[in-house]
Structure 1
Amino acid sequence: MTDSTVSAHRHRLAEFTGRSYDKGRGRLMCAVWALVADPIQRSVLVPPWLRARLLRAFGARIGRGTLIRHGVRVHWPWKLTVGRDCWVGVGAYLLNLDRITIGDDVCISQQAMLCTASHDADDPHFEIELGPVVVGSGSWIAARATVLRGVTIGEDVVVGATALVVGDVPDHTRVLAPRPEERAR
């Protein structure tokens, strides 16, 4: 489904300022994370427990028993909280320009994306819009599902493979991607 309303202006990307975005740490810490620690923690050679320890060293709050698989991308670890006994699957992307908070016993499956930022399509400068993402305890974000900024996923929720979540989801709910025959309608 598309919205037929189109903005009457062209974006002027050269005028983008990022004025509403705070990285949360200084340039040196951001550089050390991006250039050294992030590639190490994503490596297949690093065991899951060591990935969690490295994320903690950079300010993430990671609960006991949580496994972070290889290839997981965390934009800024100091904006991440993960509860106890969670799994974060291979290739998951936690794009946390704002806070991501994950409860206990949560599974974030392979290549799932939690994204806390977007751009204002109606702003000629295309400025950033931020919103935290919260995933309640006992929930499962399945493979290649995407949860967008400002969304709270309740407790014991299943977000099915490839589903796109743009609004809050109440406890004990299933969000499934439309079947191919439903997309054609």
Structure 2
Amino acid sequence: MWTLHNRGPDRRRDGLAAEFMRDLAGFTGAGYDKGRSLFIQALWVVVSRAVVERIWCPPVLRVRILRLFGSSIGNNVLIRDRVRIHWPWKLHVGDSTWIGVDAWLLNLEPIRIGSNVCISQQAFLCTGSHSMESATFEFDNAPIRVHDGAWIAARATILRGVTIGRGAVVGATTLVFKDVPDGTIVCAPASVAVPNAASSLATDGTGQ
């Protein structure tokens, strides 16, 4: 159900801001294929929580379990504890890649990671989204590709449909919503030093 509101110039579209009341009860999930039966989905959730994500699970065993559930994983891959992988059958990893503690691969659609890639701690790769134009908030998902030699630094977020080029670097906490070309470095805004208020008062002679 659409409702039009005039919410000022920052929300205008063709002179009016278009806004609608969402009908989440009507959500269908159309177009999203989970890729496995409900039984396999449930089995993965149990095994992932009970074994794969645990610190005591050897990395070699972790990789073997992921392969059993359909992941394509190359040689010499290191996946640390507490890494969350939504659907292992939608994960493809090349050789000699590292995935750090607390990384989250929300792969409703495939995530393809090349060789010699480093995905650091708490990085978030999210293939899922929703359509803003859909009153029932239907999915708007798309795959993610990370090419050989790239580095996704700590707490960086990669959104749906993005390709990270060969040798590219995504700095810590950076939000990426469009493709990053080969060899490019993208970084979040750096912090800015603000003079201490007490020091400022002392220097301008107004301090007591």
Give the TM-score range, shorter chain. over 0.9
Moved over 6 A (4+): none
Counterpart check, 1:28 vs 2:28: no
Higher RCO, Cα 8 Å, sep 6+: 1
Q: Secondary structure at the match of 1:85?
A: coil
Is structure 2 residue 31 aligned with structure 1 residue 4? no
1:119-138 counterparts in 2 under 5 A? 119-138=130-149
**8 Å Cα contact 1:86-1:105 kept in structure 2:** yes
User: Alpha-carbon deviation of 1:150?
Assistant: 0.4
**Aligned equivalent of 1:86:** 97
Query: Alpha carbon RMSD of aligned pairs, Å?
Result: 1.2
C-alpha contact (below 8 Å) 1:7/1:122 kept by paired residues: no
C-alpha spacing 1:122/1:7, structure 2 compared with 1 (3 Å) = farther
Q: Take 1:32 and 1:149, find their aligned partners in 2: how far apart are those partners?
A: 26
* Percent identical residues: 53
> Corresponding residue for 1:158?
169
TM-score (norm 2): 0.83
Distance (Å, rounded) in 2 between the aligned partners of 1:15 and 1:66: 42
Deviation larger for 31-40 or 93-102: 31-40
- AA at the equivalent of 1:111: Q
Distance 1:82 1:44 in 2: 21
Deviates more, 1:6-15 or 1:72-81: 6-15
Distance 2:18 2:47 in 1: 41
User: TM-score under structure 1 normalisation?
Assistant: 0.93
Structure 1 contact 153–169 (Cα < 8 Å) conserved: yes
Q: Distance in 2 between matches of 1:63 and 1:144?
A: 24
Residue 121 of structure 1 aligns with an amino acid whose one-letter code is M
Supply the distance in 2 between the matched residues of 1:33 and 1:17 (Cα, whole angstroms). 23
What is the 5 A alignment of 1:1-185?
Answer: 4-5=11-12, 7-181=18-192
Which whole-Å CA distance do the structure 2 matches of 1:19 and 1:38 have between them?
28
Deviations 1:100-159 (CA, angstroms, capped at 9, x unpaired): 000000000000011101011221100011111000100000000000000000000000
In 1, Cα distance between equivalents of 2:51 and 2:184:
36
Q: Is the 8 A contact 1:158 1:173 kept in 2?
A: yes
Q: Unaligned 5+ residue runs, structure 2?
A: 1-9, 193-208
- Alignment-mate amino acid for residue 97 of structure 1: L
**Letter matched to residue 26 of structure 1:** S
**Aligned pairs, number:** 179
Give ranges in structure 1 of 5+ residues lacking alignment: none
